[in-house]
Amino acid sequence: MSDAAAPDQAIALCASADLQDGGLAVPFEVLYQGQHCRAFAVRYAGQVHAYLNRCAHVPMEMDYQENRFFDHSGHWLLCATHGATYAPDTGACVAGPCRGSLVKIALSESGGVVRWHTAKQLQPFEF
């Protein structure tokens, strides 16, 4: 692995058009507190949001099919294993066996590109 990215470095993730309201997520890999984790970005109510792919109940991946996190209504993020339900705009637990919120990752969107931002405890994962 090369030197860690500077805090709040913007890293291109995907084209804005790749994220549709209530649709499939765009996955990406990160180092969170030194551990390799999957993360995902979604669009909800026109805004982009990203989280670690780790349920707040038990730290395991949440998608029920590859890159599918929204429930059938497209209004809630759902852990397929435990049924924990999260608000897509904040990551806050709204129902089920949650212990807190999802770990949010800062995103920005401009010029048709979605970027995620590094932080002290959040760095790119390099294969």
pLDDT single digits (tens) 88-127 = 999 999 998 887 899 999 999 999 999 999 999 999 998 7
Residue 14 located in a structural domain: yes
Range of the domain at 75: 10-124
Q: What pLDDT, on the 0 to 100 scale, is given for residue 87?
A: 97
Residues paired with residue 10 on neighbouring β-strands, in sequence order: 117
Summarised one tens digit per residue, pLDDT across range 47-72 is 999 999 999 888 788 988 899 999 99
C-alpha pair distances (Å), 24 with each of 34, 68, 69, 78: 27, 5, 7, 13
Would residue 5 count as lying in a domain?
A: no
Cα–Cα distance measured from residue 117 to residue 105, given in angstroms and rounded to the nearest whole number = 7
Global pTM reads 0.91
Q: How many domains does the chain have?
A: 1
The answer to whether the Cα torsion of 109, 111, 113, 116 is positive or negative is negative
Cβ 58 vs Cβ 69: under 8 Å: no
In sequence order, what E strands does the chain have?
10-15, 26-32, 35-44, 47-52, 77-78, 85-86, 93-95, 104-105, 107-110, 113-117, 122-124
Residue 4 has pLDDT above 60, yes or no: no
Please report whether residue 4 resides in a domain. Answer: no
Residue 29: per-residue pLDDT: 96
Q: What is the CATH number of the domain that holds 51?
A: 2.102.10.10
With respect to residue 48, please indicate whether it lies within any of the assigned structural domains. Answer: yes
